[in-house]
Amino acid sequence: MKNILSALAIVAALGTGVTGCAITSGQSTTGQYVDDATVTSRVKTRFAKDDDVAATRINVETLKGVVQLSGFATSAAEKSKAVSIAREVPGVKDVRDDIIVRTPQ
């Protein structure tokens, strides 16, 4: 009996964990959540490798293949480059540009 209760507790915990990830992130499936996380990671990696884009000031979020960029760029050229880089990443369906250009004072 003790083993059965332990097994049921584990199954319930696993089921809640998997469902929780998909629901809280807005994705329809766990696979979509993983795909979106991969896209986000790829965009951030490309930002980090680029000398013209400050990866620390531009935020990246992905939902169902749509990448949303937000944060701050120091020039219109940096903003444009960030959008261009994001569009080139495999799996990106669209890019929403919410980056604000703010020149250093």
51 pLDDT more than 80? yes
H or E segment to which residue 6 belongs: helix 2-25
Indicate yes or no: pTM above 0.85: no
Higher pLDDT, 25 or 88: 88
Exposed / middle / buried, residue 44 (Cβ in 10 Å: 0-12, 13-18, 19+): middle
15 pLDDT more than 50? no
Average pLDDT for 72-93: 97
H or E segment to which residue 38 belongs: helix 30-49
Share of the chain above pLDDT 70, in %: 73
Average pLDDT for 13-40: 65
Mean pLDDT check: name the lowest of 19-28, 60-69, 85-94.
19-28
Angle, helix 30-49 to helix 76-87, in steps of 10 degrees: 140
Nearest to 98 by CA among 57, 65, 64: 57
pLDDT, the chain, mean: 82
Q: Break the chain into its structural domains and give their ranges.
A: 2-101
